A and B are shown apart, each in its own frame.
Chain A
Amino acid sequence: MCTPLEHEYLRFAETCSMESSEKISSSSVESIEDKTRKTSLNLKRTELRLGLPGSHSPDSKVCLFGEDLESNDTSNGFGVTPLKKLGSGAKRDFSYAIDGPNEKWVFPCDEKNLVPPANDHVSAPSTKAELVGWRPVGSFQKNKKASNFAKKSDETSGDGGRLYVKVSMDGAPYLRNVDLKTYNNYMELSSALERIFSCFTIGECSGKGVAKGCEYVVTYEDKDGDWMLVGDVPW
């Protein structure tokens, strides 16, 4: 007879001689369970056990929050325990789906398989230049992402897309992002920039902005990497 501890795990033993000729299906599960109870199987060695890292001894139990599993066991032993409420309360006809969250399934495997697959199979996403789907801003924000790369700014439609440009002021602790489409001319842009960076300036900046008498001028870096003075190219 299986001990109560072993019985926490319902074994689908592909190694179990009783079952080797049977296909596992929901209708025959009950009988398999009875059979495994009756035979004195010692499949501990092939059992897949969960344990905290470093504790792989065959006799270790899974410890959750310091308590071992046996105390979490409400009922096991040999009988089928009453179903706990699960989801919409639908009845389940799998008798191996017995005990809800405390149920332990074990799919036996060779001890060799306990070794996780070679790490070089698992790519290191953080080294990838661009992670798919991160940041998770969602399709709701698709318009924003597209305009961040100025994809739509070439389209003929009037106010399509947005043109985000990073603006940096020397000495400011961080840059600002500005949507050029919200401004209709250089004046509006320069007054907006004035406003945005006003917390950092100590010098005077006249309302005329770029025009005259201002300590700061607005420059931008074009696609060739050259610094250009704002105002030469028409808005």
Chain B
Amino acid sequence: MQKEMAYSFPDEVLKHVFTFIQSDEDRNAVSLVCKSWYEIERWCRRKVFIGNCYAVSPRMVIRRFPEVRSIELKGKPHFADFNLVPDGWGGYVLQWIAEMAGAYPWLGEIRLKRMVVTDESLELIAKSFKNFKVLVLFSCEGFSTDGLAAIAASCKNLRELDLRESEVDDLSGHWLAHFPETCTSLVSLNISCLGSDEVSFSALERLVDRCPNLRSLQLNRGVTLDKIANILRRAPQLVDFGTGNYAAELQPDVFSNLAGAFSSCKELKSLSGFWDVVPAYLPALYSICPRLTSLNLSYATIQSPDLIKLVSHCPRLQRLLVLDYVEDSGLEELASSCKDLQELRVFPSDPFGAEPNVSLTEQGLVAVSLGCPKLQSVLYFCRRMSNAALVTIAQNCPNLTCFRLCIIEPKTADYLTLEPLDAGFGAIVEHCKDLRRLSLSGLLTDHVFEYIGTYGKKLEMLSVAFAGDSDLGLHHVLSGCESLRKLEIRDCPFGDKALLANAAKLETMRSLWMSSCAVSFGACKLLGQKMPKLNVEVIDETEPPDSRPESYPVDKLYIYRSVAGPRFDMPPFVWSMDEAVKILH
């Protein structure tokens, strides 16, 4: 009797229970329990995340999950950020939108990263989804302000419009005026990518005025400093604010107006923007600095003394993005003032200069590692490093989850011992047991990969450039890193052997990128033939890979697992190694 009851929950009850299960991993586990749970679960899954838009087709997603309300898609590989993926490679969202327009009339949220979004796609979104609420276009391209106008005009209950880091064809600043007077629902608006061209400021003011729930606003560079006070006074409830241009001739009334406006924002915790900073205006921020948890100064060309002053006012800072103008002295101040720091990113102000233009070395990072026990995420550009420093950092920060170091000159050795930096990075992976993301640089041999393979058991993403001696390096990583999902490699002497010997591993990963390595065309073909669940794509803009001997190395290789088979939108310079696809096209 009691046994029977356990199996007799009505579907509605199970469905209700499942709504409390949010994470994709848990949902996937639920759907594996039995067929009926699979069925119930798939009908009530509302949110889908697709890390590679080519891993599955829209039709397959729709077939399995008929009632999705929120979708997130990623397109191009990460190295596209560094111009390694030629234009026209792919990542088009239009087909997804077109299919979802028919299947998901209640779709409310679309989040895209590194995808090509045309005005046509935006117009389709605008007219297909009546309950559309959230559009996030992170590092996307292909659209103009005309497409944005369509979204603004049609989406009556739009909550979020976030265009961070996207490339937009700025045809007219008047698209903002297309938000109807009845639109009062905005919570988040990020137009920081729109550059220096003017956005209709009066339209922006009116929009901010009528949206009392606006919490996050990032202006673009075209908005001048004197206008900030106007905006802030209309939105004192802001939590996250991005200034536009932060430069103007110092005038006392402008300054006091600005300082007053900032101080009226009692909820403000996060600041960004700060193009063209005039340091004299920084004290206008002092009233809110004690509450600040996140500060993005990566566009701010302010020098170390001004940065030190600012940072010393922000004891609660958890996240800091800054240029290397901060210098070692600034980072030392950071280490002593900001004990809650979790994330630090230091960008190069002059990455292509032959000599250092600032006094920023490994010492700055060591100081932060010592002073900030909660440090979890690091992105650091510098010009010199030592194994000793890396070992110290590793020992000071065992909780690091993300460590990305970029020593600007490739193959730079330990400046003290002139040895490779294998031991230093080895210490990082050994001590930081929860490390999920790692980027290597400097002079590195196969040994560093041995360490990574041995200790990097939780490593999910690894970026490698100008490192290693032989296939053994790649073999260590592919055979040792159990949690590896994304591997991206450039300019390393890795060839066929390790790749072929670990072919099965590639099916457990999202993707592998290799460019300027030594993988032969023949090996790519073999992999493509033997592994039907992998899409093996060769990218070559100069000539077809089969016009050369099979032993010739390919220029760029992108391998990803897919249940959708080879894609149909490849440009002429991308060749699929799938047996079913003709090589010549």
How far, in Å, is B165 (CB) from chain A's closest CB? 5
A133 pairs with B79, CB closer than 8 A: yes
A48 pairs with B501, CB closer than 8 A: yes
CA separation between A161 and B245, bound complex, in Å? 12
CA separation between A121 and B79, bound complex, in Å? 23
Contact with B along A122-149 (1 / 0, CB 8 A): 1101100001111111111101110010
Q: Which of B82, B480, B552 contacts A133 (CB 8 A)?
A: B82
A25 pairs with B247, CB closer than 8 A: no
CA separation between A26 and B531, bound complex, in Å? 9
B508 pairs with A148, CB closer than 8 A: no
B472 pairs with A52, CB closer than 8 A: yes
Query: Any chain A CB within 8 A of the CB of B19?
Result: no
With a cutoff of 8 Å between Cβ atoms, the chain B residues found around residue A12 in the complex are 530
A177 pairs with B82, CB closer than 8 A: no
With a cutoff of 8 Å between Cβ atoms, the chain A residues found around residue B471 in the complex are 50
Residues 143 to 199 of chain A near chain B (Cβ within 8 Å): 143-145, 148, 157-162, 164, 166, 174-177, 179, 181-182, 184, 195-196
How far, in Å, is A128 (CB) from chain B's closest CB? 10
With a cutoff of 8 Å between Cβ atoms, the chain B residues found around residue A139 in the complex are 81, 139, 165, 167
B357 pairs with A176, CB closer than 8 A: yes
Query: Any chain A CB within 8 A of the CB of B20?
Result: no
A101 pairs with B505, CB closer than 8 A: yes
A50 pairs with B466, CB closer than 8 A: no
With a cutoff of 8 Å between Cβ atoms, the chain B residues found around residue A96 in the complex are 504
A26 pairs with B532, CB closer than 8 A: yes
Q: Which of A24, A65, A94, A159 contacts B504 (CB 8 A)?
A: A94
With a cutoff of 8 Å between Cβ atoms, the chain B residues found around residue A88 in the complex are 25, 28
CA separation between A133 and B349, bound complex, in Å? 16
Main secondary structure, interface of B, reads: loop
List the A residue with the shortest CB-CB distance to B469: A53
B479 pairs with A101, CB closer than 8 A: yes
Q: Which of B224, B410, B485, B507 contacts A126 (CB 8 A)?
A: B410
Query: Any chain B CB within 8 A of the CB of A64?
Result: yes
Query: Any chain A CB within 8 A of the CB of B268?
Result: no
Size range of the chain B interface in the assembly: 35 or more
A89 pairs with B249, CB closer than 8 A: no
CA separation between A139 and B84, bound complex, in Å? 12
Q: Which of B81, B275, B470 contacts A138 (CB 8 A)?
A: B81
How far, in Å, is B521 (CB) from chain A's closest CB? 10
With a cutoff of 8 Å between Cβ atoms, the chain A residues found around residue B180 in the complex are none
With a cutoff of 8 Å between Cβ atoms, the chain A residues found around residue B493 in the complex are 122
B245 pairs with A159, CB closer than 8 A: yes
A135-B485 in contact given A97-B504, A101-B505, A184-B249 (Cβ < 8 Å): no
Contact with A along B499-531 (1 / 0, CB 8 A): 011111101110000001010100000100010
Query: Any chain A CB within 8 A of the CB of B298?
Result: yes
Query: Any chain B CB within 8 A of the CB of A7?
Result: no
Q: Which of B196, B277, B347, B516 contacts A123 (CB 8 A)?
A: B516
How far, in Å, is B26 (CB) from chain A's closest CB? 11
How far, in Å, is B485 (CB) from chain A's closest CB? 7
B532 pairs with A25, CB closer than 8 A: yes
How far, in Å, is B565 (CB) from chain A's closest CB? 14
A50 pairs with B501, CB closer than 8 A: yes
Query: Any chain B CB within 8 A of the CB of A223?
Result: no
CA separation between A122 and B453, bound complex, in Å? 26
Query: Any chain A CB within 8 A of the CB of B290?
Result: no
With a cutoff of 8 Å between Cβ atoms, the chain A residues found around residue B453 in the complex are 64
Query: Any chain A CB within 8 A of the CB of B355?
Result: yes
A141 pairs with B347, CB closer than 8 A: yes
CA separation between A116 and B493, bound complex, in Å? 10
Q: Which of B84, B222, B480, B553 contacts A117 (CB 8 A)?
A: B553
CA separation between A94 and B359, bound complex, in Å? 55
List the A residue with the shortest CB-CB distance to B406: A136
Query: Any chain A CB within 8 A of the CB of B301?
Result: yes
Query: Any chain B CB within 8 A of the CB of A216?
Result: no
Query: Any chain A CB within 8 A of the CB of B145?
Result: no
How far, in Å, is B580 (CB) from chain A's closest CB? 12
A135 pairs with B482, CB closer than 8 A: no
B518 pairs with A141, CB closer than 8 A: no
Q: Which of A50, A138, A175 contacts B82 (CB 8 A)?
A: A138
B357 pairs with A182, CB closer than 8 A: no
* Residues of B in contact with A (beta carbons under 8 Å apart): 25, 28-29, 32, 79, 81-84, 139, 165, 167, 195-197, 221-222, 224, 245, 247, 249, 275-278, 298-299, 301, 303, 347-353, 355-359, 381, 406, 408, 410-411, 450, 453-454, 465-466, 469-472, 475-476, 478-482, 485, 490-491, 493, 495, 497-498, 500-505, 507-509, 516, 518, 520, 526, 530, 532-533, 551-553
Shortest Cβ-Cβ A-B pairs, 3 listed: A133-B82, A135-B351, A160-B196
Query: What are 24 residue pairs bridging A and B, where the CB atoms are less than 8 Å apart in the complex?
Result: A50-B471, A64-B479, A89-B32, A92-B507, A94-B533, A105-B500, A116-B495, A123-B516, A125-B466, A125-B516, A126-B410, A133-B83, A135-B352, A135-B381, A136-B465, A137-B347, A148-B350, A159-B221, A174-B355, A174-B359, A175-B355, A175-B357, A177-B353, A182-B247
